[in-house]
Amino acid sequence: AQTVTQSQPEMSVQEAETVTLSCTYDTSENNYYLFWYKQPPSRQMILVIRQEAYKQQNATENRFSVNFQKAAKSFSLKISDSQLGDTAMYFCAFPLIQGAQKLVFGQGTRLTINP
Amino acid sequence: DTAVSQTPKYLVTQMGNDKSIKCEQNLGHDTMYWYKQDSKKFLKIMFSYNNKELIINETVPNRFSPKSPDKAHLNLHINSLELGDSAVYFCASSLHRESGEKLFFGSGTQLSVL
């Protein structure tokens, strides 16, 4: 079975600090995508970053970057210079089937950025 | 303009009632989805349509019936509501059905069954 695991239910850091959220997954596929989605208190899910498994280079979007370790099946999200607006639930997600957008989500990590 | 809009945002109803949630996207996307988020924030896909064709149909009670009149709309009808149906229901869309596509989500419908 393909699963996604986020082992940190909650995290809290001070504004401007760097924080890393962990995610591990299990798959027998060789080529796939991985995603981090953010759900702020407004409730709407927003894509933070996407990684293609066949790319060696880790994806980066401004202050957000990933550490993708394919052999270890690990996909962590690093937020640099954290801001109050980064306070949200963060979900790691993985498509269960190639060729169809059937995402399976991790349990989520509640991140709080303190002033 | 809201890209993916769903109505209503909140729905409070009695057990046994029938209710519908509507979703519309103005992005020109081919594929639309319904996801359910339970009280523990766990998100699970329910259905997906691609150009009005049902392509994903997870194991959900048959009291839940999606309908896609055109590729810009995907509605969810729920018959005989039960307490366990209380959750937040999210509509989403993607340009195509492929697994690498970005999902655009609506702001959710919080359903409370009393």
- For A3-114, CATH number out of 3.40.50.880, 2.60.40.10, 3.30.1490.20, 1.10.10.1590 equals 2.60.40.10
Question: What is the pLDDT at residue A99?
Answer: 58
Q: Which of A55, A101, A104, A111 to mutate to test the interface with B (most CBs of B within 10 A)?
A: A101
What is the DSSP code string of A31-81?
A: S-EEEEEEE-TT---EEEEEEETT--SPPEETTEEEEEETTTTEEEEEE-S
A110 to chain B: closest CA residue: B41
Q: Per residue of chain B (114 residues), what is the pLDDT tens digit?
A: 679 999 999 999 999 999 999 999 999 999 999 999 999 999 999 999 999 899 888 878 999 999 999 999 999 999 999 999 999 999 999 998 877 889 999 999 999 999
Distance from CA of A83 to the nearest CA of B (A): 22
Structure tokens at A111: 């991140």
A50 chain-B contacts, CB cut-off 8 A: 100, 102
A101/B40 touch (CB, cutoff 8 Å), yes or no: no
> Which CATH class name applies to B4-113?
mainly beta
Question: What is the pLDDT at residue A64?
Answer: 98
A109 to chain B: closest CA residue: B41
- CA angle B48-B53-B56, nearest 5°? 30
The letter for the amino acid at A20 is: T
Q: Per residue of chain A (115 residues), what is the pLDDT tens digit?
A: 568 999 999 999 999 999 999 999 988 887 889 999 999 999 999 999 999 988 889 999 999 999 999 999 999 999 999 999 999 999 999 887 655 678 889 999 999 999 9
Distance of CA A87 to the CA centre of its chain: 14
Describe chain B by its helix, strand, coil percentages, rounded to 5. Answer: 5, 55, 40
Model pLDDT for residues B21-35, shown as the tens digit of each residue: 999 999 999 999 999
Out of B44, B48, B100, the one facing A33 most closely (by C-beta) is B100
User: Which helix (H) or strand (E) segment is A103 a member of?
Assistant: strand A103-105
B33/A101 touch (CB, cutoff 8 Å), yes or no: yes
B99/A95 touch (CB, cutoff 8 Å), yes or no: yes
What is the DSSP code string of B51-76?
A: TTEEEEE-S--TTEEEEEEETTEEEE
A37 chain-B contacts, CB cut-off 8 A: 103
Question: What is the pLDDT at residue A32?
Answer: 85
CA–CA gap between residue B18 and residue B79 (Å, rounded): 4
Q: CB of A9 within 8 Å of any CB in chain B?
A: no
